[in-house]
Amino acid sequence: MSQSPLATTNQAPSTAANLASDLKPPGQASAKVKPCCVCKEEKSARDECMLFSNSDDPQKDCEGMVDKYRSCMKGFGFTIQ
């Protein structure tokens, strides 16, 4: 008779102590943030301005919002072209 794959795993059982543990490795890998997860308010304001601008040139009209977003991203180490 063959055993089910669950019966042959060597993982520790889930307990209250290990369910809440941090799964990221310590060090630089856990400190690095993703660009999608920072400057959300600035990005939302920039996008709203660009999408709903009544100006003939939304890019010029929303330049301040774009600059705020760029400077925020730069603060996290990202460069926006």
Q: How far apart are CA 47 and CA 65, in angstroms?
A: 9
Query: What would the pLDDT profile of 3-20 be if each residue is shown by its tens digit?
Result: 555 555 555 566 655 555
Query: What would the pLDDT profile of 20-66 be if each residue is shown by its tens digit?
Result: 555 555 555 546 889 999 999 999 999 999 999 999 999 999 999 99
- What pLDDT is attached to residue 66? 95
pTM of the entire structure? Answer: 0.60
Contact present, 78 and 35 (Cβ < 8 Å): yes
- What pLDDT is attached to residue 32? 83
Give 75's pLDDT tier (boundaries 50, 70, 90). Answer: very high
Q: Is residue 37 helix, strand or coil?
A: helix
Q: How far apart are CA 18 and CA 4, in angstroms?
A: 24
Alpha helices in 1-81, H assignment, sequence order: 16-19, 28-31, 40-52, 58-61, 63-75
